[in-house]
Amino acid sequence: MTALTIRLPDSVHRKIKELAANDGVSVNQFIASAAAEKMASVMTLDFLRGEAAKGHRKDFLSVLGRVPDVPPMPGDGLPD
């Protein structure tokens, strides 16, 4: 485990303490969880951008062109 010193505005620190107490966790646990959530979000976006970069519009349109031109099944249509 690594120790990290960060500077926070007093108002942010107060709110984090309040939210951590409401969740029944320590401030350290709350901040570690928040950092992990942000990290997961950024990593997910990076992954999706990488996957999107591998795609080609021509291939997408080719696959889309194989979809039959029929009305949707009952319950699958757009709401009115």
pLDDT in tens, 11-22: 999 999 999 999
- Give the Å distances, CA to CA, from 24 to 14, 28, 45, 46, 72: 15, 12, 30, 32, 48
**In the chain, where are the structural domains located?**
20-64
pLDDT mean over 59-73: 94
Q: Residue 80: pLDDT above 90?
A: no
Rounded Cα gap, residues 69 and 13, in angstroms: 57
What confidence tens digit (pLDDT) does each residue in 24-63 have? 999 999 999 999 999 999 999 999 999 999 999 999 999 9
Q: Residue 1: pLDDT above 90?
A: no
